[in-house]
Structure 1
């Protein structure tokens, strides 16, 4: 469904039934700016990481232990709630590295990540855009894998020249609300499955006691 939306095979209409205008082609740099604030005074001690499967989470939760010490945090970038983070690490779930939105807490991240703040558009729409694969071909075209062959090597200018499919704000909001409703249905079904599994385990225990 996301591929149909971002390839514009599926379009939404305005509340009055009229068609929305054509989408603009803009660059990421036109709607965002790189976050350059560093933790120079070491006032922030919460270290975050960007997981392809879990998104932006606390490093201590991801690794089950702290793997950096507070003495190493001066050069780390400050990540505000709502900031986006690009992790250049390649994985099967993120073939060019994931871009995820920080919904966790104020924290800091390694300078290996690219942190940016959007200043225009519906942030929920942009989050779904980065969850799609529509931007992957561009990143592949302007970057090379790193020396370890598990990271994308992309210059800042090339990264912020990334083309963004940009509908009008009203259509962005409709797209975000539609995809969010699907996510909610998925969450509800997942919860039902978890309850069914728990019920099954309890039933099996009663049968074989």
Structure 2
């Protein structure tokens, strides 16, 4: 009997990383035994109003928060009072019972959303909200929900296909979790909340920088804001610092000559080895920055068993070239473009469903065109010339006719320098967000059993 007792003590549940004032073992229990929950209500579309109290639907949820910049639905304030049990309160947790497979994080079934503020709305169907109770800390529970063990559990109980999966409440409540004392729960929750606050602050900073850039671009390309020559450009005479010359009306065909591209599919590419990098239109849609630096992008090679004899030197991308996606399933990505800023002295070609535009007349500076293609004025024209039903496409002929106004090269340089400085700040903020998220991930692996 004594041996059995010793074995039990040796295997008591404790995390790898722990606050020093706690030393008791953690206790195993089921989620359903330590929480109280409320199922969302099936609000009818007939009850929806243009204002009032918001209805929070599954489609309103992001990875870890309720989306704000989407079309919202409401119910009348008086009507909402009779459905008060579905109101979301600060420190509640929402868990979805429908969604995509757990691997698809943005819309995954079973993901948990922590509510940081009151007055977020009423909970719609296909979700649960875990209530605030005195004996269990929801901040601690949210840490468990973010853990790999919980995500693995959801993967095991999810049913359905990749796009539409579901979990039952019964299966969810059978999730086994390991729990410390309430004071230790609260300490862990408080610490993780501090990390989350840091992440939220950085995300807000990124949003504000992106809004500032968007506003600045609108002002610059509508010429409501103009750059002036530096004193050094006018021999130091302040009275000679007039505006640069007027912008010239152009069409894209006046500036860019289009060079033929290849049609290699994903099966013809790899990320391990090769002589020539290939820019695929799908990567322009999803991951490449508009100011393309090879050294900071993950670009596939053309497979070594494919002949490169038809790729002449002229078809290799050079600095200042613009690579444009000529096909997309939606208007947001059709005609999306990147400008080659750095090749790292490597061979790069434009691939499937792309146009390669080159400024043979040298009328633009390197780093300006990537911003030109982001302007609302050009984006709207590209959307108008896009054709197709399930897949949209644009032609070189119509693209060449898109009109715009072009500043002199000196002003282009100032515009590019100004906007790239904002992009650099955004990139650094993204790095801080990713670093802090990685730090949190490490904590979750070590602070929970």
Smaller-chain TM-score bracket: 0.7 to 0.9
Structure 1 position 87, deviation (Å): 1.3
Q: 1:108 to 1:138 in 2, by over 3 A?
A: same
Distance 2:351 2:224 in 1: 39
Report 1:105-116 matches (<5 A): 105-110=346-351, 112-116=353-357
Does residue 427 of structure 2 align to residue 187 of structure 1?
yes
2:391 is the alignment partner of 1:150: yes
The answer to whether the Cα contact below 8 Å between 2:261 and 2:354 also exists between their aligned partners in 1 is: no
Answer yes or no: is the 8 Å Cα contact 2:387–2:394 preserved in 1.
yes
Which deviates more, 166-175 or 188-197? 188-197
Query: For residues 32-71 of structure 1, what are the structure 2 equivalents within 5 Å?
Result: 32-36=256-260, 46-50=277-281, 51-55=284-288, 70=306
Query: SS of 2:441's equivalent?
Result: helix
Deviation at 1:49, TM superposition (A): 1.0
Aligned to 2:248: 24
Rounded Cα–Cα distance in structure 2 between residues aligned with 1:8 and 1:78: 35
CA contact (8 A) 2:330 2:391 kept: no
| CA distance in 1: counterparts of 2:397 and 2:286, whole angstroms | 27
C-alpha distance in structure 2 between counterparts of 1:194 and 1:111, whole Å: 31
> Could you tell me whether the CA contact under 8 Å between 2:262 and 2:350 is conserved in 1?
no
Task: Tell me the residue number matched to 2:339.
Answer: 101
Check conservation: 2:259, 2:358, Cα contact below 8 A: yes
RMSD: 3.4
User: Of the two, which has the highest radius of gyration?
Assistant: 2
1:77-108 CA distance string (max 9 Å, x none): 92313321221223557343212223454233
Identify unmatched segments of 5+ residues in structure 1.
Answer: none
2:316 aligned residue: 79
Q: Helix, strand or coil: the match of 2:250?
A: strand
Q: 2:408 maps to which residue?
A: 168
1:14 to 229, 233, 242: 229
Distance 2:306 2:423 in 1: 37
> 1:138 maps to which residue?
381
Structure 1 residues 126 and 186 mapped into 2: Cα distance closer, same or farther (>3 Å)? same
| Counterpart for residue 103 of structure 2 | none
**Could you say what secondary structure the match of 1:34 adopts?**
strand
Answer whether contact 1:75 1:111 (CA < 8 A) is retained.
Answer: no
TM-score normalised by structure 1 residue count: 0.75
How many Å separate the matches in 2 of 1:132 and 1:91?
21
1:117-149 deviation line (CA, Å, top 9, x unaligned): 1132112111111133321232344x3413x53
Q: Which moved more, 1:121-130 or 1:106-115?
A: 106-115
> Do the aligned partners of residues 152 and 37 (structure 1) sit closer, same or farther apart at CA in structure 2, a change above 3 Å counting?
closer
Which structure ranks higher in relative contact order (CA pairs < 8 Å, sequence separation ≥ 6)? 1
1:202 paired with 2:439, answer no
Question: Helix, strand or coil for the counterpart of 2:328?
Answer: coil
CA distance in 2, matches of 1:68, 1:3: 45
What residue in structure 1 maps to residue 368 of structure 2? 125
Q: Is the 8 A contact 2:277 2:347 kept in 1?
A: yes
Further displaced range: 22-31 or 197-206: 197-206
Question: Aligned in 2, Cα 1:93/1:188: closer, same or farther, shift over 3 Å?
Answer: farther
SS of the counterpart of 2:338?
Answer: strand
User: Relative to structure 1, is the Cα distance of residues 95 and 113 closer, same or farther in structure 2, using a 3 angstrom cutoff?
Assistant: closer
Change in Cα spacing, 1:68 to 1:151, as seen in structure 2 (3 Å) is farther
Q: 1:178 Cα deviation (Å)?
A: 0.5
